[in-house]
């Protein structure tokens, strides 16, 4: 028998999927990671160049490794030999065929809320790549856009900043947001995607698990 949490996630997930469809996204819900990964892979033609933004969710579901194993041409900034080449790859991702990313928050009414330090991830979500595949755990689902902003700034950012050993952002030291003006702040660019244009460009896959930050 499915656990109460799985049952709740499934019911809410199906509701959120329909909300995304009402806003011209394509969307699916899956209880488990393997099913979700298979769906994501099925959406990517074999001749596509694939890029991604920084995402703990993508790391946790191992989809990047799967893309490499399946022979896709990938743009992986982490393989760059130096900072100059890393920046070059990040710019190339802006025009890739398929961009894969997580989301800081998913609103129940079918909107996406994200925060970025440099803006490369949200820029690709908005415009450039031919299609965008957003993969998110149900722990990212919030009631309102305002809740999404709070989640991104007070939960996601203080966790994400721990990945940067040289960061001097206050939340790196305290683990708590102080709405800082630090030059190392990750809370520089807030993006709300209210509707998908053109229809179907952004595809959202929800997974009934706790994933990412």
Dump pLDDT digits (tens) for 39-57. Answer: 999 999 999 999 998 899 9
pLDDT tens string 100-130: 999 999 999 999 999 999 999 999 999 999 9
CB 148 within 8 A of CB 157: no
Domain ranges of the chain: 4-207
pLDDT tens string 13-39: 999 999 999 999 999 999 999 999 999
* 213 has pLDDT over 90: no
* 5 has pLDDT over 90: yes
pLDDT tens string 166-197: 999 999 999 999 999 999 999 999 999 999 99
Q: What is the model's pLDDT at position 1?
A: 83
> Which residues, at least 6 apart from 49, have a Cβ–Cβ distance to it below 8 Å?
72, 73, 74, 75, 96, 97, 98
- Residues 31 and 18: their CA atoms lie apart, in Å, by 16
CATH superfamily assigned to domain 4-207 = NagB/RpiA/CoA transferase-like (3.40.50.10420)
* 59 has pLDDT over 90: yes
């Amino acid at each position: 028998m499915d656990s109460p949490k799985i049952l709740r996630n499934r019911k809410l997930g199906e509701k959120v999927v329909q909300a995304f469809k009402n806003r011209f996204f394509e969307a699916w819900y899956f209880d488990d990671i393997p099913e979700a990964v298979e769906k994501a892979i099925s959406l990517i033609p074999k001749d596509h160049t694939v890029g991604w933004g920084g995402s703990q969710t993508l790391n946790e579901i191992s989809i990047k490794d799967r893309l490499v194993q399946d022979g896709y041409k990938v743009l992986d900034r982490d393989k760059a030999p130096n900072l100059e080449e890393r920046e070059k790859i990040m710019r190339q991702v802006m025009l890739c065929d398929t961009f894969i990313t997580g989301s800081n928050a998913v609103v129940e009414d079918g909107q996406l809320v994200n925060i970025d330090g440099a803006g490369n991830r949200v820029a690709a979500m908005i415009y450039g790549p031919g299609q965008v595949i957003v993969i998110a755990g149900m722990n990212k689902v919030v009631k309102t856009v305002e809740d999404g902003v709070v989640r991104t700034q007070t939960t996601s950012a203080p966790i994400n900043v721990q990945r940067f050993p040289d960061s001097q952002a206050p939340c790196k030291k305290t683990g708590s947001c102080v709405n800082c003006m630090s030059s190392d702040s990750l809370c520089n660019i807030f993006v709300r995607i209210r509707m998908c244009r053109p229809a179907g460009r952004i595809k959202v896959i929800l997974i009934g698990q706790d994933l990412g930050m």
